[in-house]
Amino acid sequence: MNHDEALELTEQVLTDVVPGADLASLSPDENFRIGLEMDSLDFLNFVEALSGRTGLPLPETDYPSLNTLNGCADYVASHTPTA
């Protein structure tokens, strides 16, 4: 999976977890937890959904990498085997 595919997937998961989220108003490097006013449970639901969609284990130690759209996309793209 490349960065663009991972970014699209991240955005899909975010809109599933935070219905009505205005992702267009977010900078790709902005902390979306703050921008979307996500509480810790919302973020945990996001992480679990992202893990479910990608098949990747997402350990708590890696959560700091998952706070921005670009961070998520980079993480997923770098941890997903290429075909």
pLDDT 10s digits, 39-80: 999 999 999 999 999 999 999 999 999 999 999 999 999 998
d(CA 11, CA 83): 22
Token pair for residue 60? 């708590």
pLDDT for the residue numbered 64: 95
Q: Confirm if 6 and 76 have CB atoms less than 8 A apart.
A: yes
- In sequence order, the 6+-apart residues with CB closer than 8 A to the CB of 15 are 21, 23
pLDDT for the residue numbered 62: 96
Q: Where are the domains of the chain?
A: 3-79
Token pair for residue 18? 């935070």
Q: Which amino acid is at 49?
A: A
Residues in the chain: 83
pLDDT for the residue numbered 83: 56
pLDDT for the residue numbered 65: 95
pTM here is 0.91
Reported confidence tier of residue 33, pLDDT bands at 50, 70, 90: very high
Architecture of domain 3-79: Orthogonal Bundle (1.10)
d(CA 36, CA 61): 22
